[in-house]
Structure 1
Amino acid sequence: MTSPAPQIEALPDGLVNLADFEAPAQARLEANDCAGAWAYLNGGAADEITLRANRAAWDAIKLQPRVLRDLAGGHTRVTLLGRELQHPVLLAPIAYQCLFHADGELAIAHAAAAQGAGLVLSAQASVDMEAVAAPMRADRNAGPLWFQLYWRDDRDFMRALLRRVEAAGYQALVLTVDAPVHGARDRERRTGFKLPAHIRAVNLGGLKKPLDLQPGQSTLFDGLMPRAATWREIDWLRAESRLPLLLKGVTHADDAREALARGVSGFIVSNHGGRTLDTLPPTAQLLPPLRAALGPEVPLLVDGGIRRGTDVLKAMALGADAVLLGRPYVHALAASGALGVAHALRLLRDELEIAMALSGCKTLADAGPALIWPGTSH
């Protein structure tokens, strides 16, 4: 299947870091009467404590560079699930991207392929998974292509979805386990946000089975939670698909150990961008104890608050194998489509190379605990 070319748009002036995309993105969405979409993207759960903490935690970590090292021939390459990547940045799964730009997930696929970045497509994508996969598969320098799942309590549907994911060329599954229900997202609710009628999760199709509740029963505990994934569903996914399975949203070492015992291949350390359970620790603080508990060989990625090349370097020093970029690339998408996303990825990679050079790291294997200033809050 060929993928249609995305729109090529001029970049706004003055884009020198990822934060610079926010203002033009917000202005464009509000001009298109999409203020609710801005709240949906940028809001967090409840008082947004975790949302703010994710960013603040990376800022609080200080680097301790080494000097006078021979860095000639250095590079940003890493190995993940047995594959060498040009750099350790992937695009995180974010739903309904046609809310923010007409090209939606198609644009980010072209941008990721062009910049050698990985892509984790949301199950709630607003573009067909085959169209998204096409530019990633066509470029041999593209990063990994993974598919994110939410569990749906319909095994025939899930089985058919897995076959489709495999046929489209996705190389791993990512099951989100920290969001069996939505968080209480106040900012989003105040705007009265609802999905426009023309935007939907096109890869899911059909309707969920209606809840069968008796008088006095809880919609959440008697209706939704009996349908949520448990360890039984992890076993089922492992048996039904040949693809590696990663879990996104594991924050407790005991859960990670249980998952490994059941054949899970790796983890994404995530608090869902502060959108589910408020007052969770920031991911920069969750990462080191999970790495310590799992040992050096288990693939471990991290998202949440990544904005700078120094953040990527700090994440690698704390034990990550790669990072996922979230809201900033959607800001870039809203601001200027595929070219905006590609530019944002290039800016982040350039910053990472600068941070490595100024820290004395020839490769990312040199970024270990000694790179972090003692006593830093992490």
Structure 2
Amino acid sequence: MADPVRTDLPTPRPAPAGPTDDRPPVCLGDFAELARAAVPPGVWDYVDGGSGAETTLAANRAALDRVAVLPRMLTGVDDPRTAATLLGREQAMPVVVAPMAYQRLLHPDGESALAAAAGAAGVPYALSTLSSTTIEEVTAAGAGPVWFQLYWLRDRALVADLLDRAHTAGCAALMVTVDVPVLGRRRRDVRNGFALPPDVTAANLPGGRDDLAHTGTPGVSAIAAHTGAVFAPALTWADLDWLRDRTPLPLLVKGILDPRDAVRAVQVGADAVVVSNHGGRQLDGAPATATVLPEVVAAVDGRAEVLLDSGIRSGTDVLRALALGATGVLLGRPMLWALAAGGRAGAETALALLATELRDALTLAGCADPAAARDLRTLTGG
């Protein structure tokens, strides 16, 4: 039976004429224009933009669109399960709400609302180090597992403190992001001189550690200035060895593109690698994640889970990722769109739509569950 779809979403301001005008969203993409109408232009550019010429940002979507899945016939499937196991725990879908910073830019309830929506949908929520709500508040708000995403900071004592807080708060996994030695040059933010408003802070950092993020200067991204001051630019595999010894939680390494790095992450003790180019927001010219995913899966060879990040927009995309060998996916920008459009209710609707789309895709592909989808064949190019 299909999940119910909310039709009572608030619209903060009238959306531009288009497919969502006066009608409820029917896909994740419908939330984009609702979100764009709901937030200031600078915030929209911060969420929507990529680095450089946004080549990699566009490539993520194009690569997924080129993946054709060969459905199987006469399999007798009419009501597939969407449930899948991630890091040893069954989830309602092979989907994780991706870690994304400063969610109170999109809605006053921010991370707490999105975590609660993820919990209600039965999927994990990954909380960013740069969240605008504390670890403790978010774990209290979420009805489901919260995974803590760690950015490596120059202050090792602060890294240790964040780990201790994540453990104490009951986080179910630790995801370390390794592709941000410095922030990618995001031209939209530079042009806008983008800075955080006073009421949106890096809530997990000690007071004053995010002052630079609030200092608006023409032609300068305050976000980039802040991360340049607090992030450690020279993270090494030795640091990951320290981290593996420091935490008993399942460990995910996010930001992997080269299969050789995936193998090294497994050797360090990672339980999963996340194939990610940071949503096209770091090295512009890096490959689309769907393009390198099969090579990473082959290199890991079952020794760890492999999740796909960057560009997922539909249940069909989840099916594509599974067919390419992924264990699951991270879902990013669409959840921010939904949060901006309707807070927790918007996010719940988006995840319900995704579940319906995934169920339909599995049925049409002849798969009884996500595990079966990993046996499908794919073609590239249509």
Q: Same fold (TM over 0.5)?
A: yes
CA distance in structure 2 between the partners assigned to 1:233 and 1:183 by the alignment: 22
Q: 1:105 matched to which residue of 2?
A: 111
Task: Rate the CA distance shift 1:206–1:241 in 2: closer, same or farther, 3 A.
Answer: farther
Instruction: Tell me the TM-score normalised to structure 2 length.
Output: 0.87
1:49, distance to aligned residue in structure 2 (A): 0.6
- Give runs of aligned pairs for residues 148-187 of structure 1, distance below 5 A: 148-187=149-188
| Candidates 55, 59, 69, aligned match of 2:75 | 69
Are the aligned partners of 1:270 and 1:304 in contact in 2 as well (CA < 8 Å)? Answer: yes
CA distance in 1, matches of 2:71, 2:210: 56
Q: Does the residue aligned with 1:75 lie in a helix, a strand or coil?
A: coil
Which residue identity lines up with residue 10 of structure 1 in the other structure?
A: P
Check whether the contact 1:151–1:228 (CA below 8 A) recurs between aligned residues: no
1:303 Cα deviation (Å)? Answer: 1.1
Unmatched 5+ residue regions in structure 1? 1-7, 211-218
Question: 1:126 matched to which residue of 2?
Answer: 132
Q: What does the per-residue CA deviation read over 1:35-62, in whole Å, with 9 as the maximum and x for residues that have no partner?
A: 1111000000111010011011111111
Query: 1:178 & 1:164 partners in 2: Cα distance?
Result: 23
| Greater Cα offset, 326-335 or 13-22 | 13-22
Counterpart contact for 2:154–2:230, Cα < 8 Å: no
| Separation of aligned partners in 2, 1:238 and 1:207 | 29
Q: For 1:302 and 1:207, locate their aligned partners in 2 and report how far apart those are by CA, in whole Å.
A: 35
Work out the CA distance in 2 between the residues paired with 1:72 and 1:226: 51
Q: 1:275 aligns with which of 256, 276, 281?
A: 281
1:250-282 Cα offsets, whole Å, 9 max, x none, are 111211222221212211110000001001111
**Could you tell me which residue of structure 2 aligns to residue 192 of structure 1?**
193
Q: Structure 1 residue 94 and structure 2 residue 105: aligned?
A: no
Q: Is the 8 A contact 1:177 1:249 kept in 2?
A: yes
Q: What CA distance in whole angstroms lies between the structure 2 residues aligned with 1:225 and 1:302?
A: 24
The two structures, once aligned, show a CA RMSD in angstroms of 2.2
* Identical-residue share of aligned pairs (%): 46
Q: 1:281 is matched by which residue type in structure 2?
A: P
Deviations 1:142-178 (A, max 9, x none): 3x32000111122222212111110101011111100
Distance 1:111 1:258 in 2: 35
User: 2 CA distance for matches of 1:49 and 1:97?
Assistant: 25
CA separation in 2, counterparts of 1:254 and 1:178?
15
- SS of the residue 1:264 aligns to: coil
TM-score by length of 1: 0.88
Check if 1:114 corresponds to 2:114: no
- Alpha carbons 2:10, 2:341 under 8 Å: kept: no
2:94 and 2:370 in contact (8 A); partners too: no
Match of 2:304 among 293, 298, 301: 298
Larger mean CA deviation between 111-120 and 201-210 belongs to: 201-210
Which 5+ residue runs of structure 2 have no aligned equivalent?
A: 1-7, 12-21, 212-224
Q: Spell out the pairing of 1:215-294 with structure 2 (5 A cutoff).
A: 227-294=233-300
**Contact 2:153-2:230 within 8 A present in 1 as well:** no
- Cα distance per residue 1:323-351 (max 9 Å; x no partner): 11100110011111110011001101100
CA distance in 1, matches of 2:381, 2:174: 33
The 8 Å contact of residues 275 and 309 in structure 2, kept in 1 or not, is answered as yes
